[in-house]
């Protein structure tokens, strides 16, 4: 049985864990009810204090999620500066692996968390680096592509919770991302750049850049990210299983 004493929770193995001040004021008795918090340690709570335990559990989970997603967003933001061009593609197309933290966040906390990481990394990138047009067209394009990639991957892979499902999700996400970004570049992104920076491009040039540059670039980018993410997923899978977000 775990009981509070002097601001610590004591467990059967005599492990002391510093407790939140709120819990120190509210939690007074212990018995058989348990929950998993930030450190994934279980403790009991008397029936009279069940609401306090539930409140503490929710507070701990929110704090854990906030810290975790903040770290992922910061990591993704920094990874954007490690971009590099790919041989054979236009120089304005550069690849980075900043979608990896968003994939981790999506698999742990759901698609919305992955989208949030994508949004925050691009917001930070715009605030610190700006845009040649004054409007964050590049960041919005990156957000759209990343959000599609993360959402589709997470929705498909979480149905199975195994590597096969993840691979299927990554491949499907890559195809959809490439298709959507091809359309977006044709109707929105290229015309916007043409207007804002007075970039003159003929119809034939635009078609060539999109069909032989943008589309295959996004396919290759998705495949490279997937190739790197699969071993990372295998490392993190026990962490996600512990939170009942994947099976097997």
Q: Which pLDDT belongs to residue 139?
A: 96
DSSP secondary structure letters along 118-185: HHHHHHHHHHHH--TTSS-HHHHHHHHHHHHHHHHHHHHHHHH-SHHHHHHHHHHHHHHHHHHHHHHI
- Asked if pLDDT for residue 44 goes beyond 90, the answer is no
pLDDT in tens, 103-136: 999 999 999 999 999 999 999 999 999 998 889 9
Task: Give the pTM.
Answer: 0.76
- Is residue 114 included in any domain, yes or no? yes
- Is residue 67 included in any domain, yes or no? no
Domain span holding position 190: 83-242
CATH number of the domain enclosing 192: 1.10.1760.20
The answer to whether residues 43 and 87 belong to one domain is: no
Please give the Cα distance from 242 to 233 (Å, whole number). Answer: 14
Domain count, the chain: 2
- Is residue 248 included in any domain, yes or no? no
Count CB atoms within 10 A of the CB of residue 178: 21
- Is residue 65 included in any domain, yes or no? no
Cα separation values, 82 from 78, 79, 198, Å: 7, 5, 29
Please give the Cα distance from 179 to 10 (Å, whole number). Answer: 56
């Amino acid at each position: 049985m775990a009981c509070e004493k002097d601001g610590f929770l004591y467990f059967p193995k005599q492990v002391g864990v510093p407790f939140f001040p709120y819990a120190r004021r509210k939690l007074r008795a212990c018995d058989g009810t348990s929950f998993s918090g930030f450190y994934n340690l279980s403790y009991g709570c008397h029936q009279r204090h069940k609401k306090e335990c539930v409140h503490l559990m929710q507070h701990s989970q929110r704090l854990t999620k906030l810290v975790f997603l903040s770290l992922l967003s910061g990591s993704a933001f920094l990874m954007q500066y490690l971009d590099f061009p790919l041989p054979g593609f236009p120089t304005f197309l550069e690849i980075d692996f900043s979608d990896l933290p968003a994939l981790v966040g999506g698999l742990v906390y759901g698609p919305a968390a992955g989208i949030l990481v994508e949004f925050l990394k691009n917001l930070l990138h715009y605030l610190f680096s700006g845009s040649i047009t004054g409007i964050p067209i590049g960041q919005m394009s990156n957000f759209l592509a990343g959000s599609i990639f993360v959402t589709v991957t997470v929705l498909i892979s979480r149905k199975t919770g195994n590597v096969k499902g993840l691979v299927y999700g990554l491949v499907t996400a890559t195809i959809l991302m490439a298709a959507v970004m091809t359309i977006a570049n044709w109707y929105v992104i290229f015309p916007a750049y043409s207007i804002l920076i007075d970039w003159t491009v003929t119809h034939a040039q635009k078609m060539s850049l999109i069909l032989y540059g943008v589309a295959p670039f996004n396919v290759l980018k998705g495949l490279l990210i997937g190739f790197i993410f699969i071993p990372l997923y295998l490392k993190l899978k026990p962490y996600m299983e512990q939170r009942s977000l994947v099976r097997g």
